[in-house]
């Protein structure tokens, strides 16, 4: 279950980025070739972060399709399960993946508990469209 080790690396990166502040949502770009099962990743996340400052945070996955680029004719094509790594247009073997291998932390929504913030108009959370109960009350 490689989702666990991915979540451990991710938790370490998020902790470095936020300095222990309470985190609401962690945004990720995940390439198709990573073969990550979203449900397994989200489940792994809940127990990897249990008891840490990231406890109660949720993952938001942005899926990136695998795209093959041809160095000869410059065609870009979506890599399907039946395709090899040669160009479907000109047959060239000089190709490279231009996307699909990402596992990148793109943004973190931090729940700021600074009392000064309570003077701001309400509605910040609603605008972000987070579901009710995304944060554990404890
Ligand atoms: Zn080509």
Reduced 3-state DSSP string for 53-103? CCCCCEEEEEEECCEEEECCCCCEEECCCCCCCCCCCCCCCCEEEEECCCE
- For residue 71, report the distance from its CA to the centre of ligand 1, in Å: 7
Query: How does pLDDT run across 4-56, given as a tens digit for each residue?
Result: 999 999 999 999 999 888 899 999 999 999 989 999 999 999 999 999 989 99
69 C-alpha to center of ligand 1: Å?
8
Ligand 1 center to residue 64 CA distance, Å? 22
CA of 80 to the centre of ligand 1 (A): 16
Structural domain for 81, as ranges: 2-111
Q: Domain for residue 118, yes or no?
A: no
**Which tens digits make up the pLDDT trace of 47-96?**
999 999 899 999 999 999 999 999 999 999 998 776 678 998 999 999 99
Q: How many domains does the chain have?
A: 1
pLDDT of residue 91: 93
- Look up the CATH number of the domain holding residue 9: 3.30.2320.80
């Amino acid at each position: 279950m490689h989702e666990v080790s991915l979540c451990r690396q991710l938790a370490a990166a998020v902790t470095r980025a936020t300095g222990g502040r309470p985190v609401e949502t962690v945004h990720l770009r995940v390439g198709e070739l990573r073969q990550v099962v979203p449900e397994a990743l989200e489940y792994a996340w809940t127990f990897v972060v249990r008891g840490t400052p990231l406890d109660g945070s949720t993952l938001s996955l942005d899926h990136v399709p695998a795209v093959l680029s041809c160095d000869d004719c410059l065609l870009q094509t979506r890599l399907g399960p039946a395709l090899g790594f040669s160009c479907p247009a000109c047959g060239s073997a000089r190709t490279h993946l231009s996307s699909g291998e990402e596992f990148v932390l793109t943004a973190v929504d931090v729940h700021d508990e600074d009392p000064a913030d309570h003077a701001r108009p309400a509605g910040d959370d609603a605008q972000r469209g987070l579901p009710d109960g995304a944060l554990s009350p404890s």
